[in-house]
Amino acid sequence: MFKTLFELVEHFDSSIGLTLKIYHSSIVDTCIDIGFKVTREQNITKYGSPFISVQSCDINKALAQAYDKLTDWLSENNGGY
Q: Look at the alpha carbons of 23, 27, 30, 34 in this order and tell me if their dihedral is positive or negative.
A: negative
In a domain, 78, yes or no: no
Could you tell me the residue range of the domain that residue 31 belongs to? 2-71
φ, ψ (nearest 5 deg) of residue 34: -125, 130
User: What are the residue ranges of helices labelled H in the chain?
Assistant: 2-16, 44-47, 59-77
Q: What is the pLDDT of residue 77?
A: 87
Q: What is the pLDDT of residue 37?
A: 81
Q: How many domains does the chain have?
A: 1
In a domain, 61, yes or no: yes
- pTM for the structure as a whole: 0.81
Q: What is the pLDDT of residue 72?
A: 95
Q: What is the pLDDT of residue 48?
A: 64
In a domain, 81, yes or no: no
Q: What is the pLDDT of residue 13?
A: 80
Q: What is the mean pLDDT for each group of 10 consecutive residues in the chain (81 residues)? A: 86 84 88 83 62 94 96 89 80
